Amino acid sequence: MHILKPLPTLNRSAINISTFLLINILHSETPKEA
């Protein structure tokens, strides 16, 4: 159980980082005026 506890936090942080990178890529590809 002690090993399984940090897994959800790592998963959540990984998801947050991936979504943040996706949003950054979308914002950089699309013009700022739009």
- pLDDT tens per residue, range 1-34: 566 676 788 888 999 999 999 999 988 877 666 5
Q: What is the pLDDT of residue 30?
A: 73
pLDDT of 27: 85
Residue recorded with tokens 């399984």: 4
Task: Report the half-sphere exposure of 32 (CA within 13 A, side-chain side).
Answer: 1
Element containing residue 27 per DSSP (H, E): helix 6-29
Say which residue the tokens 């990178």 belong to.
21
pTM of the model: 0.53
**From CA 16, how far away is CA 21, in angstroms rounded?**
9
What distance in Å separates the CA atoms of residue 2 and residue 32, rounded to the nearest whole number? 46
pLDDT score at 34: 53
